[in-house]
Each structure stands twice: as structure tokens, then as C-alpha cells.
């Protein structure tokens, strides 16, 4: 017998996006994490899938708002098939968990009766598959979360002809448990020992925690988060997808990656060689973000040097992009290097000897990498701007 299902993880509903300064933009990012569930529901219906597994971190924390809980349950209810969820490290199933709160239980019952939260390590027999959940009952599990599965495979109630699906949340071969942007530090926890599973006894392992889509074994995949929530690092980090899986007993699964994300998180770097390169830089950014400016988040690293006037024009460009984009994260290492003509305009003002003297003093201090030099360069830029 075969089964076809959706593998997803790391929805992290209620994520605060604290590094996004604009409140309206933060709200849009939060809402989109619910909207992507609706897109998944459409995919489930279109492909006539049997069920959905969410491999941990449906919520960002045990303390999300009631509005977030209601929105989540309503969206999950649209899937019309069993949705099996395990707690992850963000929404673990220990004391005080969101899963035991009366409000969540009431909303789940009324809005998402198809949602099953698996809080125990025991086989779950569905019509077309057997699911072996490895829920996290605390943020950091000391032992191997899938250790119980070996014995569970021999459970008398497990039909031999149904494909066997393990669902877990944590680290495998160095993947998972790593926050890869400025919102968290790197760390390793909840190690999943796939070697503890008997060879050939499991037909698919659905993992969560690593936010990119990645295959880490013949039958083992991370789905990644369905809506990107950070600036990816490295070529192999591929978030913003879900996996449509066809699994059969005793054979390799067929896995299809389906893009579901809306917001685009990009990194870009540019080095200014001269003032004329400012136009090339503006064209390059337009290439990166295209027409969907308000759905782009850009981490921009700038280096090199510009004259005073060009640096001012760069400041104007950055101000516009910060307003247009969902977020501009900027690392500005551009040096202000006044041209000979700009220096002459400031220091040779016969009609205003005081300004000429101040400008000469600033020019004398603006060389080098010290904080004093950086302040002097900024002061020169301000002075030039006011007099131009």
C-alpha cells in the first residue's frame, strides 16, 4: 500500500520579527505565516493528499496571542484531512505548554477537529500509514527523541502492510537546532540518532528544526519552513517550501518540493570603486528586488569609498529602499572620500573664512579608520550638504 501526504514544519506562528522596525511591516510578516497554511490547504485539496504532518514548532512559543491560536486553528481546519502535529523546541509539550491551555483546546475542537497533537511516543495508525511521533516534551531533550521507535515498530497493533512514517524535530548530521540570522545564536540540541532505527524498517523520516529544505538520508528529509523567516546562509539553505511525499512499505519515497513562500529574503554585497559606480549599484539593487519591492527583505553589505556628494545621494537611495522594502538590513562600511574638487569648495571659501577653517580641520582628521576619522567624514558630508 502507498500513501501520499504533505510534510511541513517550523511554521512558528506568532513569531515577533523584532528586528523589523516598522510595526505595519512586522504585522504583514506575521499574517503571512498564517496565509501560507491556506496555500498548503489548497495544495492538499489539489493533490488529494491523505494527511499532513507538521514536524514541530507550529507555534513560535507557548505564549502566543489568542488571536494567533484562533487564526492557526481556522487555517488548519481548511485542510479537511488529518493534520498530525508534534511539539518542537519552540512549542514543546512540557508543563505550561500551549497544547494544554483551555483556549487552544476549545479552538481546536471548534475550528480544527482534524488537528491531532501527538504528545506521546506511540504508533498512530491511519488508514494509509502508521506514524511514529517523537514529540519534544521540553525545549532541550537530553536523550534520543526517536529511541522508542525501535520497540514501537514491533507493536502488535502496527499493520505490516502500511508505510511507516517517523516524525521528529531536532538535529541530524549537523543540521537543525541552528538559528541562522541575527535573531538567535547557533546551538545544537535534540540530537536524533537515525542509526537507532533498524535498517529498512522505516519508509520515511519527516524532520523539522532546520529551516531549509534538505535531504539528509535515503528516506530522511527536512521540509524547512513554508514561509521564509530569516536571511538564509549558504548555498544549501533552501527555505520556503513544503514536501509532497509518496511512500510505500519497503521502498524509497518519492519526494516533491513545492514552493509556498511569498516573502523574499536576499543578501547582497557591493563595493564602490568610484562615484560613477553609484549608478551601477542602483541598477544592481533593482535587479535583486524586481517589482515586488514590498515583499522583499534585503540584507545589504556596502564597502568601498564615495565622494561627499555621491555619499549623500547614496543616503537618499537607502532611505527610499528602506521605505519600499519589507525590511532593509544594512551593513554600511562605505568610506567618505572627498574629491579634490569637493575639498576645494569647502576649504577655499574666501568669502567665509570660518567655514573654510572648520572644513580644513575636518579634512585633516578624516583619514584612517578611527572613530574620530569617521565622525570627521560625516561632519564634512553634513557641511557640504548644507552649503551645496
Q: What is the pLDDT of residues 33-88, one digit of tens each?
A: 999 999 999 999 999 999 999 999 999 999 999 999 999 999 999 999 999 999 99
Helices (DSSP H) in the chain: which residue ranges?
Answer: 23-47, 66-77, 102-111, 149-152, 277-289, 308-324, 340-347, 353-365, 371-387
Whether 244 and 358 share a structural domain: no
259, 287, 309: which is the final residue of a domain?
A: 259
> Range of 250's domain?
2-259
What's the pLDDT score for residue 346?
67
Q: What percent of the chain has pLDDT over 90?
A: 67
Whether 249 and 305 share a structural domain: no
Cell of 224: 524547512
Output the average pLDDT for the chain: 89
Whether 255 and 114 share a structural domain: yes
259, 278, 313: which is the final residue of a domain?
A: 259
Whether 270 and 383 share a structural domain: yes
Rounded to an integer, what distance in angstroms lies between the CA atom of residue 197 and that of residue 111?
36
Whether 89 and 142 share a structural domain: yes
Whether 272 and 233 share a structural domain: no
Instruction: Please report, to the nearest 10 degrees, the dihedral formed by the alpha carbons of residues 194, 195, 197, 199 taken in order.
Output: 120
**Mean of the pLDDT values across residues 336-351?**
70
Instruction: Please report, to the nearest 10 degrees, the dihedral formed by the alpha carbons of residues 135, 237, 194, 243 taken in order.
Output: 70
* Least confident segment among 54-58, 279-283, 286-290: 286-290
What's the pLDDT score for residue 184?
46
Q: What percent of the chain has pLDDT over 70?
A: 89
Whether 9 and 138 share a structural domain: yes
Which residue is listed with cell 483556549? 103
Whether 288 and 275 share a structural domain: yes
Beta carbons within 10 angstroms of residue 160's beta carbon: 8
Whether 332 and 197 share a structural domain: no
Among the listed residues 249, 251, 381, 239, the one whose alpha carbon sits nearest the alpha carbon of residue 316 = 381
Q: What is the CATH number of the domain that holds 171?
A: 3.60.21.10
Which residues face 133 on adjacent strands?
Answer: 167
**pLDDT for residue 181 is more than 50:** no
123-176 confidence digits (pLDDT tens): 999 999 999 999 999 888 888 999 999 989 888 788 989 999 999 999 987 665
232, 259, 286: which is the final residue of a domain?
A: 259
How many degrees, rounded to 5, is the angle at CA 377 between CA 371 and CA 383? 135
Whether 189 and 307 share a structural domain: no
Q: Is 303 helix (H, G, I), strand (E, B) or coil?
A: strand
Amino acid at each position: 500500500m502507498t500513501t501520499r501526504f504533505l510534510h511541513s514544519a517550523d511554521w512558528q506562528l506568532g513569531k515577533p520579527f523584532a528586528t523589523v522596525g516598522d510595526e505595519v511591516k512586522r504585522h504583514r510578516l506575521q499574517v503571512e505565516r498564517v496565509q501560507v497554511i491556506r496555500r498548503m490547504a489548497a495544495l492538499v485539496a489539489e493533490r488529494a493528499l491523505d494527511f499532513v504532518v507538521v514536524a514541530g514548532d507550529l507555534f513560535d512559543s507557548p505564549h502566543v496571542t489568542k488571536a494567533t491560536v484562533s487564526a492557526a486553528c481556522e487555517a488548519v481546519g481548511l485542510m479537511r484531512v488529518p493534520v498530525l502535529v508534534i511539539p518542537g523546541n519552540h512549542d514543546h509539550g512540557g508543563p505550561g505548554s500551549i497544547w494544554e491551555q483551555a483556549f487552544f483546546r476549545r479552538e481546536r475542537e471548534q475550528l480544527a477537529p482534524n488537528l491531532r497533537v501527538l504528545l506521546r511516543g506511540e504508533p498512530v495508525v491511519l488508514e494509509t500509514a502508521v506514524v511514529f511521533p517523537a514529540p519534544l516534551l521540553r525545549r532541550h531533550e537530553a536523550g534520543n527523541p526517536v529511541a522508542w521507535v525501535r520497540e514501537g515498530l514491533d507493536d502488535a497493533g502496527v499493520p505490516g502492510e502500511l508505510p511507516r512514517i517517523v516524525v521528529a524535530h531536532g538535529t541530524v548530521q549537523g543540521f537543525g537546532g541552528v538559528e541562522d540570522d541575527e535573531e538567535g545564536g547557533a546551538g545544537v540540541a535534540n540530537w536524533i540518532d537515525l542509526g537507532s532505527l533498524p535498517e529498512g524498517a522505516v519508509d520515511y523520516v519527516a524532520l523539522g528544526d532546520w529551516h531549509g529544505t534538505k535531504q539528509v538520508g535515503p528516506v530522511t528529509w527536512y521540509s524547512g519552513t513554508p514561509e521564509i523567516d530569516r536571511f538564509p546562509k549558504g548555498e544549501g539553505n533552501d527555505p520556503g517550501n513544503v514536501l509532497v511525499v509518496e511512500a510505500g512499505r519497503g521502498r524509497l519515497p518519492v519526494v516533491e518540493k513545492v514552493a509556498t513562500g511569498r516573502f523574499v529574503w536576499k543578501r547582497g554585497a557591493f563595493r564602490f570603486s568610484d562615484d560613477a559606480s553609484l549608478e551601477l549599484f542602483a541598477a544592481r539593487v533593482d535587479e535583486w528586488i524586481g517589482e515586488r519591492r514590498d515583499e522583499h527583505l534585503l540584507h545589504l553589505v556596502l564597502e568601498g569609498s564615495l565622494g561627499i556628494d555621491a555619499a549623500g545621494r547614496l543616503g537618499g537611495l537607502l532611505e527610499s529602499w528602506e521605505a519600499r522594502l519589507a525590511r532593509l538590513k544594512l551593513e554600511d562600511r562605505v568610506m567618505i572620500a572627498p574629491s579634490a574638487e569637493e575639498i576645494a569648495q569647502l576649504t577655499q571659501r574666501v568669502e567665509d573664512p570660518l567655514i573654510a577653517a572648520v572644513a580644513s580641520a575636518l579634512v585633516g582628521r578624516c583619514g584612517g579608520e578611527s572613530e574620530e576619522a569617521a565622525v570627521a567624514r560625516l561632519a564634512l558630508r553634513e557641511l557640504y550638504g548644507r552649503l551645496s
